Amino acid sequence: MHCNNNQKTVNGETLDSFTMDLLNTLAQPATGAAAPSTQEREEINTLADKANTTQLTTPIITLFARLLELHRAGKGTPGDFGLNLSDLEKLAVKHQRIDEHMVSVGGRLTRARPIAASANRRVDAYLAAKDSIAPSGIEAWDRILENKARIMAELGMDEAAWNSFPGQIRHAIDSVAVLARLIDLPPAQLESIAKVTQSYRMRLTPYYTSLIMPGAINDPIMLQSVPTGEMVENAGIEIPPVAADHSPARLVDQFYPRVLTIKATNMCAMFCTHCLRLAHIGRKDQVYAKEAYTEALDYIRANDRIRDVLITGGDAFVLPNSMIEWLLAELDGIDHVRLKRLGTRIPVTAPMRVDDELLDILEASNDRKPIRVVTQINTAQEITPVSREVFRRISKRTFAVLNQAVLLKGINDTRVKMWKLCETVHESYVRPYYLFNCSYRNPQFAHFRVPLEVGRDIVESMYGNISGDAIPRYIATAGGKIPLHRSNVVSREGNDVILKKPWSGEEVSYPDADPEIYANELFAFNR
């Protein structure tokens, strides 16, 4: 509470020091005195009448606020408007009697309102920029529909094919020749994309392609789906075999005692240019034999510490419904497995895949043991009315839908872009969960990496300005997920950061993004 040496009791009600200060200020002879106009006098009369007859707080605040404003403009004291001090004191008493929390006129007007105004200023720049700098797919929907019509005509697709998953996969774009017919590609890029797609898989669903804005340089959807020359130029070093360190059983990756992943497929509806699982995705689609899953399930069955199983890939929703149903039922049948997760990007790359049968399967299994669906959305542009509707349906049938975003240069590495992403995700029934610093392990995407500090500044800027449950945890992946809290960032040796694993205390060296590459203006489709 504030100091109380400046209080006054009126009609048994104490006026606090904020209110007394306000009344004293108003009573001071105005400096520079320009007499109030007739119009201003009438205005105050009307406001005073409203304040005297009201049973609401706002008319009283409005009167005091206007008196203060006129006083500051040198237009005189309340007396000059025909109001005496005891009238105002009575109104002040009335205000705090009406207010459920006994907030005083002075407190609300001279403390709370300026504090709220200064908080508002923190988001002004964001609000002014968010829809032009980082439009969501919901805001850009009309343009996406134009793209869709053009792409459908070009590929000879009808609505039925567009709206079915087999239709999207049958018409998926995997050659630069077809891609060049659908989106604006700088001619200089065609050759390098053709070259890079000899080494890296490209596959865009027609739907995901429709999210690319024609003419936009470094469109965030294009950057995520169309491989650029940098991937081959960067790839001097062999991809380290992550799985070898962490795969104690067929299809299984395990970093932790209580949670593991089953890499249930190597397929994805769309292949991301920043994919951490590049090595695992391989060169062509594979359908795994049932024995492979059985061996993974046997490992889980034999290890009763494991309580949380993550079915991932590739993309878990690429699997047929019957396979998802079977895998979930098997996991539900293991007593020590208490929760499940499914990793999928399909709600943003091919949302039409999520049919009622799949939703029924998810709900039935969720009723036995909680399911979380973990997705990956990296830019607000990936969220359209269609994907939002799919997330709404999934969130109704499961425990939670969570987002794991990757911090990517040019895609979401500014406050405005990341705030907009997290708010749009949140408004689409999905909770931001992790934000990954783009890993150093795959040299192919060094050009996408963002320095640790840039990411930390972005995440810290969200506190107090974004709903708490829309703020992701910032993570480095280095043999497990290391939260990038200050306490885990031990020191810096040149461009390497020494990180401490919270669960073991082990220190690991984590190469930060190359500051020169990060500062390089020449980037991807800019070239």
Ligand X SMILES: *Cc1c(COP(=O)(O)O)cnc(C)c1O
| H or E segment and range at residue 507 | strand 507-511
CA 285 to chain centre: 30
Q: Which of ligand X, ligand SF4, none interacts with 16 (beta carbon under 5 to 8 A by kind)?
A: none
Closest CA to 323 of 349, 281, 293: 293
Binding flag, residue 197, ligand X (CB under 6 A): no
Closest CA to 416 of 446, 384, 453, 457: 457
Q: Which of ligand SF4, ligand X, none interacts with 325 (beta carbon under 5 to 8 A by kind)?
A: none
CA 459 to chain centre: 10
Q: Minimal distance in Å, beta carbon 330 to ligand SF4?
A: 22
Binding flag, residue 340, ligand X (CB under 6 A): no
Q: Minimal distance in Å, beta carbon 22 to ligand X?
A: 52
Q: Minimal distance in Å, beta carbon 436 to ligand SF4?
A: 10
Q: Which of ligand SF4, ligand X, none interacts with 345 (beta carbon under 5 to 8 A by kind)?
A: ligand SF4
Residue from the set 16, 89, 230, 253 that interacts with ligand X by CB under 6 A: 253
Stretch that binds ligand X, among 186-194, 229-237, 253-261, 280-288 (CB under 6 A): 253-261
DSSP string for residues in 351-370: GGG--HHHHHHHHHHHHHS-
Q: Minimal distance in Å, beta carbon 332 to ligand X?
A: 19
Return d(Cα 254, Cα 247) in angstroms, integer.
6
Q: Which of ligand X, ligand SF4, none interacts with 259 (beta carbon under 5 to 8 A by kind)?
A: ligand X
Binding flag, residue 324, ligand X (CB under 6 A): no
Q: Which of ligand X, ligand SF4, none interacts with 310 (beta carbon under 5 to 8 A by kind)?
A: ligand X
Stretch that binds ligand X, among 1-9, 25-33, 89-97, 256-264 (CB under 6 A): 256-264
Nearest residue (CB) to ligand X, 304 versus 457: 304
Bond into 74 cis (ω within 30): no
- Please report which residue ranges of 199-289 form alpha helices under DSSP H: 206-209, 220-225, 230-234, 242-246, 278-281
Cβ(525)–Cβ(228) below 8 Å: yes
Q: Minimal distance in Å, beta carbon 247 to ligand X?
A: 9
Nearest residue (CB) to ligand SF4, 275 versus 334: 275
Residues 6+ apart with CB under 8 A from 115: none
Q: Minimal distance in Å, beta carbon 255 to ligand X?
A: 5
Q: Minimal distance in Å, beta carbon 174 to ligand SF4?
A: 13
Binding flag, residue 259, ligand X (CB under 6 A): yes
The partner residues of 260 in beta bridges, in order of sequence, read 309
- The two tokens of residue 209 are 């392609």
Residue from the set 141, 255, 288, 326 that interacts with ligand X by CB under 6 A: 255
Return d(Cα 61, Cα 459) in angstroms, integer.
37
Q: Which of ligand X, ligand SF4, none interacts with 510 (beta carbon under 5 to 8 A by kind)?
A: none
Nearest residue (CB) to ligand X, 224 versus 261: 261
Q: Minimal distance in Å, beta carbon 473 to ligand X?
A: 9
Q: Which of ligand X, ligand SF4, none interacts with 445 (beta carbon under 5 to 8 A by kind)?
A: none
Q: Which residues sit at the interface with ligand SF4, rule CB under 6 A?
A: 268, 271-272, 275, 277, 281, 313-315, 345, 376
CA 157 to chain centre: 33
Nearest residue (CB) to ligand SF4, 141 versus 288: 288
Q: Which of ligand SF4, ligand X, none interacts with 340 (beta carbon under 5 to 8 A by kind)?
A: none
Mask for 457-496, x = binds ligand X (CB under 6 A): ------------------------x---------------
Cβ(272)–Cβ(323) below 8 Å: no
Q: Which of ligand SF4, ligand X, none interacts with 313 (beta carbon under 5 to 8 A by kind)?
A: ligand SF4
Q: Minimal distance in Å, beta carbon 12 to ligand X?
A: 59
In 243-271, which positions are buried (b, 16+ CB within 10 angstroms) versus exposed (e)? eeebbebbbbbbeeeeebbbbbbbbbbbb
Count of C-beta atoms within a 10 Å radius of residue 30: 18
CA 152 to chain centre: 30
Count of C-beta atoms within a 10 Å radius of residue 489: 19
Q: Minimal distance in Å, beta carbon 463 to ligand SF4?
A: 28
Binding flag, residue 16, ligand X (CB under 6 A): no
DSSP string for residues in 148-161: HHHHHHHHT--HHH
Q: Which of ligand X, ligand SF4, none interacts with 271 (beta carbon under 5 to 8 A by kind)?
A: ligand SF4
DSSP string for residues in 24-84: HHHHSPPTT--PPPHHHHHHHHHHHHHHHH-SSSHHHHHHHHHHHHHHHTT---GGGGT--
Q: Minimal distance in Å, beta carbon 365 to ligand X?
A: 19
Binding flag, residue 315, ligand X (CB under 6 A): no
Cα–Cα distances (Å) from 256 to 179, 247, 360, 389, in that order, read 41, 11, 31, 34
By CB under 6 A, name the binding residues for ligand X.
253, 255-256, 259-261, 310, 481
